[in-house]
Homo-oligomer: A and B are copies of this chain.
Amino acid sequence: MISDLHIAPARDNELQALLQHAIDHKTKPPGSLGRLELLAAQIGQIQQTASPVLRDPAIIVFAGDHGVVAEGISAFPQDVTWQMVENFLAGGAAINVFARQNGIALHIVDSGVRHEFGQRNGLTGRKVAPGTQNFAKQPAMSAVQCAEAIRHGRELVRGLSGNVLGFGEMGIGNTTAAAALMHKLTGIPVADCVGAGTGLSPQGIRHKQQVIEAAVALHAGVTAPQEVLACFGGLEIAMMTGAMLEAAQRRMVLLIDGFIVSSALLVAARLQPAILDYCVFSHQSDESGHARMLDALQVSPLLKLDLRLGEGTGAALVYPMVQAAVNFLNQMATFGDARVSEKTAD
């Protein structure tokens, strides 16, 4: 299902020299736009041009339910998943507000919610199953379900017109799935992968840790990335992994949100390491495992605003920074154009 993929690194030396020259000749002290300069060069590399253009930005929010909620690992009831999907469709959630503000098209996908929505305006139905199984007892997905979710994710991306794609998710219980994926794929102790999610108490966090540790022991033989995804992941997570792989293959700019989105990327990066060249890490979540997960990926987030909401909110909020990077590269005058004197020795 993903054997046809080959994501090439986005690191051309000749182009990098061109981009660096363009950036350094803009009317500003060299390096003074900091992270935006690195971002401009990265987007140039992704698009293979020194004059990148951002077109029709979109965010897809993938929603799915998790069997592991039966273990009592979330502060919110499972019904909140479908209720929040309704909220997305009505335009009342945080991601609606931020996507609207920043001119980003929003797509809502039912990847595997335990609820029958019927035909609904604005909802893309890609339900593989009404939620996963409880991974404390058995694998969350079968290999076939996981492959189907990945395939749906890839197809969804093929239908997009733009070249910037943000990822968001909704799924009560999915920080538990993400923490398990993180542990399995990085080797970081479970205790450092789990956090409060939507608002667990310290006792709740300890229980969540024990649930994951027991499940990891139960499924000890599972190690290959796609098997780990099937065993511990969610349908929304697997669909994101597929969408990310397809988006990078198509040389899109990927806007990575918080803890759960990063866990989907972690799987994708184990399958196709060059995918990281296409990713903008929008923010470091306040969910405690996210900082360590970003370290494990050896990447550095742009924002740190103590967000821990998910839905793709960090991706939506970072988009103006991405625009700023592209805009300064395309629109700023050079020292030559503007007849501004360059730096002298001191």
Contacts and interface: CB of A to CB of B under 8 A. Distances in A.
Interface of A: 26-36, 72, 74-77, 79-80, 83-84, 86-87, 90, 92-94, 96-98, 100-102, 198-201, 203-204, 207, 286, 302-309, 313, 317, 320-321, 323-324, 327-328, 331-333, 337-344, 346
Given A29-B308, A101-B320, A317-B324, A75 B338 contact: no
B101 A323 contact: yes
A86 B340 CA distance: 9
Nearest to A73: B346
A74 B346 CA distance: 7
Contacts of A92: 27, 331-333, 337-338
A309 B32 contact: yes
A346 to B, nearest CB: 4
Given A86-B339, A97-B328, 18 more contacts: A27-B93, A31-B308, A35-B306, A76-B341, A76-B342, A76-B344, A79-B341, A86-B338, A90-B338, A92-B337, A93-B333, A96-B331, A101-B327, A102-B320, A203-B346, A303-B303, A304-B304, A305-B321
Contact of A346 (B75, B79, B94, B333): B75
A82 to B, nearest CB: 10
A336 to B, nearest CB: 11
A163 to B, nearest CB: 18
A33 B317 CA distance: 11
A27 B91 CA distance: 11
Contacts of A72: 346
A93 B332 CA distance: 6
A315 to B, nearest CB: 13
Contact of A94 (B198, B307, B313, B332): B332
A83 B305 contact: no
A125 B322 CA distance: 35
Contact of A306 (B34, B304, B307, B344): B34
A159 to B, nearest CB: 28
A343 B199 contact: yes
Contacts of A28: 93-94, 309
A74 B343 CA distance: 9
A297 to B, nearest CB: 19
21 contacts: A28-B93, A28-B94, A28-B309, A31-B199, A33-B307, A35-B306, A74-B346, A76-B342, A77-B341, A79-B341, A83-B339, A86-B338, A87-B338, A92-B333, A93-B332, A93-B333, A98-B324, A101-B327, A198-B343, A200-B346, A317-B320
Contacts of A204: 346
Identify the interface centre among A86, A98, A323: most chain B CB within 10 Å of its CB: A98
Contacts of A302: 305
B321 A29 contact: no
Contacts of A203: 346
A102 B320 CA distance: 8
A99 to B, nearest CB: 11
B101 A286 contact: no
B76 A29 contact: yes
A317 B308 contact: no
Give me the 5 closest cross-chain CB pairs, A-B, nearest first.
A92-B333, A34-B306, A204-B346, A32-B309, A320-B320
